[in-house]
A and B are shown apart, each in its own frame.
Chain A
Amino acid sequence: MLEIQGVTKKFKQQTAVDGLSLSIPEGEVFALLGPNGAGKTTTLNLILGFEKADQGSILVDGIDVAKDLGEVRKRLAFIPENVQLYPHLSGKENLAYFSQLAGIQYSDEQLKNLLLEAGLQEKAHDSPISTYSKGMRQKVGVAIAYSKKAKLLLLDEPASGLDPLSSAELSQLVRKVAAQGATVLMVSHDLFRVKETADRVGIFKNGELKKIVKASEVTANDLELIYQGIVV
């Protein structure tokens, strides 16, 4: 589903992503785990087409991001680290708007079902998003992904700022999305949450992918690798 081949991205002197190669099959939840400044967000931006790779190629569902960004974006959904949406609109109105932008017009009933599917309780559907918690806003984000039947869901630090309960709920939701056939790439520096959510984990530092391990097999050794140099 996602094929990244030798991708390098430099900002002036700094190399944010350095020769990254990665292949994620359909239905897998993959987590890129790395410290601040590792190049995680940059990697997502490269896939989303907001940054252009200096070298290498990125294919989503067999389509090259550099060649047909429009087609690639049809297959993508993205939930940024701090998902805000339109604060004065309700969850349902936000969902309706974003799906209209993608060219889909849903009925009220369908919108309701999408939000329920994403785990947002019905009583919240019509309140303005400014009253939502981060977890609730993420659910609207997931509903947007559902609404466009995204094949690849990208999440940036989904667990940051969530309490353990919401965090666990989110893990379940992500697993459910994957179980329904979508591929998920999440980036995070939270090992615990990643272990709970992902199938495989890529350990990422200074723009380089150091190691790929099964989530269940992430060891203290790997942890050390990650945190070396960050903590004094």
Chain B
Amino acid sequence: MKSILSTEWKNLLRMPGMVFVLLVLAAALGFTAWAGLEEYRVVARMETEAKTHLRQQWESMGPSNPHSAAHYGTYVFKKNHALTAFDEGVNGYVGRTLYLEGHRQNELVQSDAAQGDILSRFGKLRPALILQIILPLLLLLFAFQSVRGERDADRVRILLVQGVSYSKILFGKLWSLWIPGMLFVLITLGIQISLLGFSTHLLGRALLLAIGYGLFYWIVIALALWLSSKTEKSYTALSWLLGIWIVWVVFYPKVTYSVAALLYPLPDRVEFSAGMKEDRSALLDGHNPEEEALKSLEDSVLQAYGVSSKEELPINFDGLLMQADEEFGNRVWDKHFGELYQQMQKQKSLVQWASLPNPFGNLQSLSMGAAGTDNFHQVDFLQEAESYRRVFIRTLNERHAYGGSRTGDWGHKEDQEFFNSIADFQYAEPPFLSLISQQMPSLLLLLAWIGLLGIGLAKVKPKISAL
């Protein structure tokens, strides 16, 4: 095997133009890796600055009314995952800044969420783009060329007469291409990670990326070797391979996403907010204290304190009222968002499983997932931000209710210390294990391909060209 590897490498390196190809590839990877890092840093710095600035404003607000503060609101940022420098995924066009406010459950849900995964390919240049499309295409061509060479130069017979099996030659060729392909992936990841600063978290994700790309390259090379050995005329294999490539990369993803969108349609943003509004107006609204449901809340509070009017309450009833309204709004949001989320999950798993004939789709899903830039991460951010908003608003409402003011007193002010005690939003990305389980179908499908092609390579008979 060692001698096959070294011979294949000599053959590759001495191919005319090879050095040029390698240089261009390395330069393209270097450039995109740098550009990705640079942009990640600039965005991260800007966000940190904005965040600090906003917090400063919050902390220098001075004594204020809690309800005004709830309307003053706050901004939260989805901190970009560092590996966005590797694969930008959906990050290029989804909102990553949310404005959080009292009784306004955020609606910033991507209605075209499922389309997200496909659009990403036309996003910014990132190493992932080169490592997903250009490098594998080169590997495919080299694999084809390598088998074609043996066939057309009538070397197959001489090789086999030396006592080596054809499958051993094929596996030698497979590894001889897979290893350099993986070197490009590992070096790119290695450089980016070392510049980003090592952390076990980052390493885990980088490992998942490396595994994904490794499996995919294996599949591409094995398929090319197998097909090139199989066809009657060696060049027929090339047409097949290029055809398969175009279907994988261009047609198939489009078709599956369209089918998913047809089967599990998502409301667009207007429909989504209209639906929420409708459900909300069906019940109470904190600013119109005439509703019936409100009456019963009022009655029970009055009863609990043993008084007969709101004005006699030792607390500020407006705070309770607003919180009740808030919680109703939350239920509406949960219902609508839950439905949307389910539809998205259905779309996602349909697309994932429908990628059985398309390992490229599986790689994309894995790559974005591991880089923390897919829709799963985006939705997770929205949910985290919404949970934060709820705690944030509840804290303010409760202060409004129990902070010493009486019902109807909108001028009461809390001091700065109270506002300072409300923590800033910190986005924590989903745990590694949930990422793995999310990506399991993709991993399994890639492994299934490897199993099939492994058998194919072990069994394929060489074509003896010369008569």
Please list the residues of chain A having a beta carbon within 8 angstroms of any beta carbon in chain B.
41, 45, 48, 50, 70, 73-74, 76-89, 93, 97-103, 128, 141, 144, 148
CB distance from A13 to the nearest CB of B (A): 17
Please give me the residue from chain A that is nearest to B466 by CB atom: A80
| A155: min CB distance to chain B, Å | 12
Q: B3 contacts A100, CB within 8 Å?
A: yes
Contact A88-B155, Cβ < 8 Å, known A48-B161, A50-B464, A78-B161: no
Closest approach, in angstroms, between the C-beta of B41 and any C-beta of chain A? 44
Across-interface contacts of A74 in B (CB, < 8 A): 163
| Contact residues in B for A141 (Cβ distance below 8 Å) | 158
CB of B466 within 8 A of CB of A78, answer no
Beta-carbon contact of B7 and A48 below 8 Å: no
Q: Which residues on the B side are within 8 Å of A85 (C-beta)?
A: 153, 155, 158
A84-B153 contact in complex given A70-B163, A97-B3, A102-B162, C-beta closer than 8 Å = yes
Would you give the shortest CB distance from A185 to chain B, in whole angstroms?
Answer: 14
- CB pair B164–A101 under 8 Å, yes or no, is yes
A-B contact count (CB 8 A): 73
Residue of A nearest to B155 (CB): A84
Kindly name the residue among A50, A87, A89 whose own CB sees the greatest number of chain B CB atoms within 10 A.
A50
The reply to whether B7 and A97 form a contact with Cβ atoms under 8 Å apart is yes
Among B10-18, B113-121, B330-338, B417-425, the one that faces the other chain is B10-18
Which chain A residues lie closer than 8 Å to B3 at the CB level? 97, 100-101
B150-189 contacts to A (CB < 8 Å): 153-155, 157-164
6 residue pairs A–B, Cβ–Cβ below 8 Å: A73-B163, A78-B161, A84-B153, A86-B7, A101-B162, A144-B162
B162 touches A88 (CB 8 A): no
Report chain B residues within 8 Å CB of A50. Answer: 157, 160, 464
CB proximity of A5 to chain B, nearest CB, Å: 22
- A98 close to B158 (CB less than 8 A): yes
List 19 additional contacts besides A89-B7, A98-B162; criterion CB under 8 Å.
Answer: A50-B157, A73-B162, A74-B163, A80-B157, A82-B154, A82-B466, A84-B153, A84-B154, A86-B7, A88-B10, A97-B3, A98-B159, A99-B162, A101-B159, A101-B163, A103-B163, A128-B14, A144-B162, A148-B162
Q: Which among A81, A86, A148 is the interface contact of B11 at CB below 8 angstroms? A: A86
A148 to B466, CA, bound (A): 24
B residues 57-100 with Cβ under 8 Å of A? none
Q: Determine if B163 and A48 form an interchain contact, defined as CB atoms under 8 angstroms apart.
A: no
Sorting the interface of chain B by its residue count into under 10, 10 to 19, 20 to 34 or 35 or more gives 20 to 34
Q: How far is the CB of A16 from chain B (nearest CB, A)?
A: 10
Q: Check: B467 CB closer than 8 A to any chain A CB.
A: yes
A222 to chain B, nearest CB (A): 25
Q: Which B5-52 residues sit within 8 Å CB-CB of chain A?
A: 7, 10-11, 14-15
CA A89 – CA B12 in complex, angstroms? 11
Complex-state Cα separation, A84 to B164, whole angstroms: 18
Given A82-B466, A101-B3, A73-B161 contact (CB < 8 Å) = yes
Verify B464–A77 contact, CB threshold 8 A.
no
Residues of A within 8 A of B11 (CB): 86, 88-89
Chain A nearest CB from B322 CB (Å) reads: 79
Q: Tell me the bound Cα distance from A85 to B15 in angstroms.
A: 15
- A154 vs B157: C-alpha distance in the bound complex, in angstroms? 12
Looking at the assembled complex, report how far the CB atom of A203 sits from the nearest CB atom of chain B, in whole angstroms: 21
Question: With the chains together, A99 CA to B158 CA distance in Å?
Answer: 11
Closest B residue by C-beta to A89: B10
Contact B467 A41 (CB under 8 A): yes
- Contact status B158-A144, CB under 8 Å: yes
- Bound: A165/B160 CA distance, A: 31
B158 nearest CB neighbor, chain A only: A78
Q: Which residues of B contact A48 (CB under 8 A)?
A: 157, 161
> Which residue on B lies nearest to A154, using beta carbons?
B161
Residue of A nearest to B464 (CB): A50
Residues of chain A lying within 8 A (CB to CB) of residue B464: 45, 50
Among B14, B159, B164, B466, point to the contact of A81 (Cβ < 8 A): B466
Q: A89 to chain B: which residues have CB within 8 Å?
A: 7, 10-11, 14
A76:B7 contact, CB within 8 angstroms: no
Tell me the smallest distance from the CB of A113 to a CB of chain B, in Å. 20
Beyond A50-B464, A74-B163, whether A80 also contacts B7 by CB under 8 A is no
Contacts of A128 in B (CB 8 A): 14
Please state if B157 and A88 are interface contacts (CB–CB under 8 Å). no
Closest to A85 in B: B155
For residue A41, which residue of chain B has the nearest CB? B467
Q: Separation in Å of the B147 CB from the closest CB of chain A?
A: 14
Give Cα A192 to B254, complex, Å. Answer: 66
Contacts of B163 in A (CB 8 A): 70, 73-74, 101-103
Bound CA span A148–B158, Å: 12
- Name A88's contact: one of B15, B154, B161, B466 (CB within 8 Å): B15
Interface pair B158/A73, CB less than 8 Å apart? no
A172 to B10, CA, bound (A): 34
Q: What are the nearest 8 A-B pairs in CB distance? A: A84-B153, A88-B14, A100-B3, A101-B162, A102-B162, A101-B164, A97-B7, A78-B161
Query: How distant is A126 from chain B, measured CB to nearest CB, in Å?
Result: 13
Contact B162 A86 (CB under 8 A): no
Residues of chain B within 8 A (CB-CB) of A148 are 162
**Closest approach, in angstroms, between the C-beta of A196 and any C-beta of chain B?**
25
A83 to B14 Cα, complex, angstroms:
20
Q: Which A residue sits closest to B3, measured CB to CB?
A: A100
Residues on the B chain within 8 Å of A102, using CB: 162-164
Q: A41-B467, A84-B153, A128-B14 are in contact. Are A77 and B7 (CB under 8 A)?
A: no
Docked CA distance A93–B10 (Å): 10
- Scoring A80, A82, A83 by chain B CB atoms within 10 A of each residue's CB, the highest score goes to A80
Bound form: Cα–Cα A70–B162 in Å: 9
* Minimum CB–CB distance for A11 against chain B, Å: 10
Q: How far is the CB of A205 from chain B (nearest CB, A)?
A: 17
Please state if A86 and B15 are interface contacts (CB–CB under 8 Å). no
